[in-house]
A and B are shown apart, each in its own frame.
Chain A
Amino acid sequence: MLKNYLLIAYRSLLQQKLYSAINILGLAIGLAICISMAIFVESELGYDKFIQNHEQVYRSSVKWMPPSAPEIYYAQGQVFNAPNYKTHFEEVVDATRFRQVTVALGEGRESFIHEGVLLADANFIDFFSLQVLHGNGQTALNNPNSIVLTEAAAELYFGRTSVVGEALLGDGKLPLKVTAVIKDLPQRTHLNVFALISMETATTYYGDTSWQRDPSFNYFTYVRLADGVSGHDVEAKIPSYLENRYGHGASDTLDFTLMPVSDIYLHSQMYGEMKENGDINTVYSFSVISALILFIACVNFMNLSTATATKRAKEVGVRKTLGAKQQHLVVQFIVEAMMLSYIALIIAVALVEACLPMFASFIGKPLSFDFYSQPVILAILLLLGFVVGLISGSYPAFYLSGFKPAKVLKGEITQGRSGALLRKGLVVFQFSVAIVLIIATVVSNQQLKYARAIELGYDKDNTFVLNRLYTDIASQQRSALKTELLSHPNINSVTASSAVPTQSIVDAFGMVNPKTQLSQTMPTLAVDEDYFSSYNIKLLTGRGFSRDFPADIFTLPSETNPHPHFSVVINEKAAQSLGFSSDEAIGKTFEVRLTRHSSATATIIGVTQNYYFSSLRTEISPTYHLLREGEGNAMAIKFQGDASLIRDFIEATWRKLIPEQQMELTYLQTEFEQMYQQEDKEITVFNLFSLLAIFIACLGLFGLASFTTKRRTKEIGVRKVLGASVMDIVLLINKEFSKQVLIANLIAWPLAYIVMREWLNNFVYRIELSFVPFLAAAVIAFVIAWVTVGSLTMVAAQARPINSLRYE
């Protein structure tokens, strides 16, 4: 029986080449997108799963709730958080901390600075279940001046991995001994690890034990909870812990939150993340869109099958009179659908094989598709083909198999009209989806364009940035470098700061709000005297830092000066978060908590206008500028004239002054572009999806229109005999489809409005939704429908009427 079904299926597929091709092509594209997206989603969801018992591992981050501004989350905590978790919370069975350091590692004078060098607690390797290749992971980070290298680091410095016992120098002076080599971390992790230096080394590295009192928020803190305990259980106890530690009211403005380690990659977008994370919304939206595209392709199948039903009606009649029951026929038609679905699946798999590497390299993710070695994936694929066949085949199967043999054989089934309403409904559905996607495409592109054109509040043009100036080697030369650079006639200004625009402000102190006397966090940016003038940042009131006022300079407490005074320049947002207007803020002093036992007094001397330091996705942070020349991690060089000449000059100057360290020079405009690179890519993928969805919907429309014109061939002939022109006929058929496109618009508009309003809410600075994208989508949908249907009708309408009437 099955053989007979397959044979019939094969012949009917060949007989209706156009419809079969449309079905297979649409399904293949839909399936290919679905498979690619499933691979993408699976990859995105699989981050940090290599950590043993990862369900119990959480990252502690800091939530600051300023009284009159939105809350701010910091991925990093303070140096004492991890030990405190262990001593104050019985639910915490283990805790670890680490901080990122910028240190030039190497042997002798040849050294490299690399991202992912961490100053880490002794239990780091064990805590994150890292694989040790050489040495003892348990003890490798116990002693000062120990370094653990990843395979990649070992290869870079020594050209081999068996290097336990070898020596390295940090910043040309800090002796380090390789105590272990670990396997490179899997690509799918939010951690960025290149080498680990034992935490105990900090004393040698900083020259004293001051790091143990470091008030900055620079230490990532992770905890492992006892089995059966959830992050919420611990979070519930944190406020009382904070009150105990920092005094009454501390928990009003400060809180710690615990996030499961495997959630960090997709759910965490805090200040100071280790590297750029993914976004769960991308995962959701791509999943939904790919499912919709596949469904559009299934709809094509249903539509065309019921539309062409009459061709099969006679066969159904004959089979029924010969004894076939409805279930036989249902099975037969579903087998046909399955056959098409599996052919499409084979093509889809080939498409994915061919396109996945391109897609993976485009979105910059390691995606792989090896279904042949993984029976589970093969099984899922086969199931997918089955489900698609079932979805698209079931309605036509029941529709076709329900024909009454007596009527069918008398020829009383008229051209599948009973399914007409459903077919129209399905076309409306397809077009609704396509229109929503067009609107989404237009709006997202508008938003992106808007983000690029917004007035940033600082001048980012003609600016080179020298990074990683806070290694010992570089920081010693910082002022010499600045002087040398300024000697070039085309370099207008040079300014060093702890971060440059496009990066994030990650440093923060605790402070006491002078108005409310409540504790709050103070995001700080260390700058030099030329910062505001170099970037052309407008001061609204007061003054900027000046060499004429030595008291402006930020100093840490020391024995001779246990309670220092210094000046701050804040932005409007900070003034607002303190509860002052810009003018009121000037001259206000407040207490800055530098460590648990020491504090300083700061005076507000100026207020700048708000400027977009980071991405437009995040709100402008309240910012406290400190005059702190020793902290300039990055140096911005403003120039005029030929950029390449300036570049050469900077390079030559660097080589002369800091030959030990590789120069890292970026262009601010490029960095700015890169901030939106991920979004750009997502939008490109999104555009591609919309295009494919529209294409598949068009395929369906083309098929249906070709069926309609065929069904109405006789009518077209009659109308022509009665005097209709070609245009009359084209308009007639187009009118029918236009109604459906119009209804689709009416459904799609409110839907798109809601979806896009939600999407835009992700952006703090966003466009207003206008009617333009909606109108554009309507026009595009109509034009596409008219061209598709019109081109077919034109051919039909130009035929001589006698051709359609001859055999009547």
Chain B
Amino acid sequence: MIQLTKINKVFRTELVETYALEDVSLVIERGEFVAIMGQSGSGKSTLLNIIGMLDQLDGGEYIFDGSDISHSTEGQLADIRKDNIGFIFQSFNLIDELTVYENVELPLVYQGVAKKERQQRVTAVLEKVNIAHRKDHYPQQLSGGQQQRVAVGRAIVAKPKMILADEPTGNLDSKNGEEVMGLLAQLNQEGVTIVMVTHSEHHANYAHRTIHVLDGHIVSSQMQEVRYA
């Protein structure tokens, strides 16, 4: 599904040039659950952002679903993203002014889905992530775990082929963390490709494969026994 070949990402300031990623190559198959681990500043989030087309390449080749998107424009990338990828962030990134329902509904609004269908799909997703009873609440009225469940709901409502999760459990206690990981594992079982950045060895065990990143390089990629909740 994803094929990165010798990609580079450089951050420049006035004085220094830092390689966040250097000659990184990576293949992710459809239906895979991949965990990316590494220390702070190792480049793992950058890698995730590159995969999610949120950040530009400074070199190398990116093939997504068979098409080379290395030189696609921002607009084209936005379209691919909209139809294929769902995002989950460590800090949830819910919109404070919108209710739970409206937050989940937002990707469908941007996809131009009709109101009736939106209603059905949002309701179904809210039930799936077990937050339907708080659908008219605002994000600040929810606990961290509940907020992240809303974020998961929002990531999956548009039926993406792939979910990218950037430390989805980073701001959660262990119980809520387990709950969210359970949801991701369930989605993966339903066929969604999942790429997740995490600090937690424990949560990395939910994945088929763990990639270790250090100083902008992939240092190891190992298949593992999958642990389901």
Contact = CB atoms under 8 A, between A and B. Distances in A.
A718 B94 CA distance: 8
B78 interface: yes
Contact of A721 (B74, B75, B81, B90): B81
A723 B107 contact: yes
B106 A719 contact: yes
Contacts, number: 53
Given A721-B87, A808-B89, A715 B55 contact: no
A265 B81 CA distance: 74
Nearest to B106: A722
Contacts of A722: 82, 87, 106-107, 110, 154
Contacts of B94: 718
Interface in A700-723: 714-715, 717-723
Contacts of B91: 808
Nearest to B79: A723
Contact of A801 (B54, B82, B90): B54
28 contacts: A414-B96, A715-B95, A715-B97, A718-B93, A719-B95, A719-B106, A721-B52, A721-B54, A721-B81, A722-B87, A722-B107, A723-B81, A723-B82, A723-B107, A723-B158, A724-B110, A725-B75, A725-B78, A725-B110, A728-B110, A798-B74, A800-B54, A802-B49, A805-B89, A805-B93, A806-B49, A808-B90, A808-B91
Q: Which among B54, B87, B158 has the greatest number of chain A C-beta atoms within 10 A?
A: B54
B143 interface: no
B49 A723 contact: no
Contacts of A721: 52, 54, 81, 87, 93
B6 to A, nearest CB: 21
Interface of B: 49, 52, 54-56, 74-75, 78, 81-82, 87, 89-91, 93-97, 106-107, 110-111, 154, 158
B87 to A, nearest CB: 5
Q: Which among B78, B93, B110 has the greatest number of chain A C-beta atoms within 10 A?
A: B93
A414 B97 CA distance: 12
A805 B87 CA distance: 12
Contacts of B96: 414, 715
A800 B55 contact: yes
Interface in A482-517: none
Q: Which among A717, A723, A805 has the greatest number of chain B C-beta atoms within 10 A?
A: A723
A724 B74 CA distance: 12
Contacts of B97: 715
A802 B81 contact: no
A720 B91 CA distance: 16
A268 to B, nearest CB: 60
B182 to A, nearest CB: 24
Interface of A: 414, 714-715, 717-725, 728, 798, 800-802, 805-806, 808
Given A721-B54, A722-B106, A800 B74 contact: yes
B143 to A, nearest CB: 17
Given A725-B78, A800-B54, A808-B91, 14 more contacts: A714-B93, A715-B96, A719-B110, A720-B78, A721-B52, A722-B82, A723-B111, A725-B110, A728-B110, A800-B55, A800-B56, A801-B54, A802-B55, A805-B54
A423 to B, nearest CB: 16
B10 to A, nearest CB: 15
Going nearest first, the 8 A-B pairs with the smallest beta carbon separation are: A723-B82, A723-B110, A802-B54, A722-B107, A718-B93, A808-B91, A802-B55, A724-B110
Nearest to A725: B78
A787 to B, nearest CB: 23
A109 B95 CA distance: 93
A220 B78 CA distance: 84
Q: Which among A719, A721, A806 has the greatest number of chain B C-beta atoms within 10 A?
A: A721
Contacts of B89: 805, 808
A723 B86 CA distance: 10
Contacts of A800: 54-56, 74
Contacts of A806: 49
Nearest to A715: B95
Contacts of B95: 715, 718-719
Nearest to A801: B54
A577 to B, nearest CB: 69
A414 B138 CA distance: 15
Contacts of A728: 110
A715 to B, nearest CB: 5
Contacts of B78: 720, 723, 725
